[in-house]
A = this chain, B = another copy of it.
Amino acid sequence: MALRKLLPLMDRVLVEKIAPPAKSMGGVLLPDSAVQKINSATVVAVGPGRRTNTGDLVPMSVKEGDKVLLPDYGGTTVKLEEKELHIYRDDELLGVLTE
């Protein structure tokens, strides 16, 4: 039985990092320094939310498909089906990126 999908528990968020574009818009290979190292990722799955002191569920602030800005530190690396994914807590994520 191959375990392919991971449903995060509590207020955890499963994300896949977005590799920064190695080539500029014009297709020129960017030198490392120019590659904009923005720590962003796509949300793959979210947990049900954490419980408050009185046991109520706190709704999550991001949803599947959102593009999010990751903190510089934290996160747990998980390998699923040869893919490297990461797990963060909801309140560790800095913001949602939009066009």
**Does A54 count as interface, using CB distance less than 8 angstroms?**
yes
CA–CA, A97 and B5, complex, Å: 6
Return chain B residues, CB-CB under 8 Å to A91.
Answer: 9-10
CA–CA, A1 and B97, complex, Å: 11
What's the least CB distance linking A81 to chain B, in Å? 9
Return chain B residues, CB-CB under 8 Å to A72.
Answer: 76
User: Smallest CB-CB separation from A21: which chain B residue?
Assistant: B2
Taken residue by residue from 11 to 42, chain A's Cβ proximity to chain B (1 for < 8 Å, 0 otherwise) reads as 01010000000000000000000001010100
What's the least CB distance linking A87 to chain B, in Å? 6
Contact A98/B3 with A51-B52, A53-B54, A54-B52 known, Cβ cut-off 8 Å: yes
